[in-house]
């Protein structure tokens, strides 16, 4: 969990941080794709384990790789808007930020939105919540951090999840060396623990 998550939960209680704790389901999410090398490997792993997930896509990457975006949808996964160019909401004006989100919405047909870095200002939230369901998380394994190993990502994920958890991973080149081997271990462990992996709808 990012250090500022507690503050964000206090400021933005209407954001979705997790689902029903009584249902033994996990919601895997992947940010920053689609990537032509990484995303297909993620999709292959999900299919092999009968798992569904939600992909928060960057608009300019959807424009560059529409066939992968289409495959995500065709295989029964959900998609969400992750902006056009991945701006940091704390460093971007409200009008510039919402324009970036709107540009992505021309290619990403979804009512789901996740702010890059989880960083959003109150004014931006007030505008976006009128059009989107803002999805955050309660499990952030840190797969983008080169100081961690795939094994540590698995341990951090399995230690933190509970029923209804929303897990953030990244289908990006930066995260792939840790995320892909970790995902290959996380999926069977979730199944053996009785969890079902669902897409956010």
Q: Is residue 166 within 8 Å of residue 17, measured between CB atoms?
A: yes
170 is catalytic: yes
Catalytic residue among 31, 100, 143, 171: 31
Catalytic residue among 65, 77, 82, 170: 170
Residue 66: which of 33, 42, 99 has the closest Cα? 33
Query: With the CA atoms of 135, 141, 147 and 152 taken in that order, what torsion angle do they form, in degrees rounded to the nearest 10?
Result: -160
Q: What is residue 57's three-state secondary structure?
A: strand
18 is catalytic: no
Own/partner pairs, 155-163, CB within 8 angstroms, 24+ separation? 157/182, 157/186, 158/186, 158/189, 160/1, 161/26, 161/190, 161/195, 162/21, 163/20, 163/21, 163/22, 163/23, 163/24, 163/25, 163/26, 163/195
- Tokens 């209407």, residue? 14
**Residues designated as active site:** 31, 170
């Amino acid at each position: 969990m990012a250090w500022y998550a507690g503050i964000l939960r206090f400021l933005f209680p209407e954001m979705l941080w997790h689902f029903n704790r009584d249902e033994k389901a996990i919601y895997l999410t992947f940010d920053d794709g689609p990537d032509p090398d990484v995303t297909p490997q993620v999709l292959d792993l999900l299919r092999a384990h009968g798992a569904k997930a939600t992909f928060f896509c960057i608009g300019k990457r959807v424009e560059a790789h529409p066939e992968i975006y289409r495959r995500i949808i065709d295989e029964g996964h959900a998609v969400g808007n992750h902006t056009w160019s991945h701006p940091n909401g704390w460093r971007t004006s409200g009008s510039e930020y919402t324009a970036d989100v709107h540009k992505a919405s021309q290619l990403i047909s979804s009512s789901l939105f996740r702010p890059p870095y989880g960083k959003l200002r109150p004014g931006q939230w007030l505008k976006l919540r009128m059009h989107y369901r803002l999805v955050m998380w309660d499990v952030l394994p840190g797969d983008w951090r080169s100081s961690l190993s795939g094994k540590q990502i698995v341990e951090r994920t399995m230690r933190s999840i509970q029923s209804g958890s929303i897990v953030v991973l990244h289908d990006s080149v930066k995260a792939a060396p840790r995320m892909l081997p970790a995902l290959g271990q996380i999926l069977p462990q979730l199944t053996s623990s009785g969890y079902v992996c669902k897409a956010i709808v």
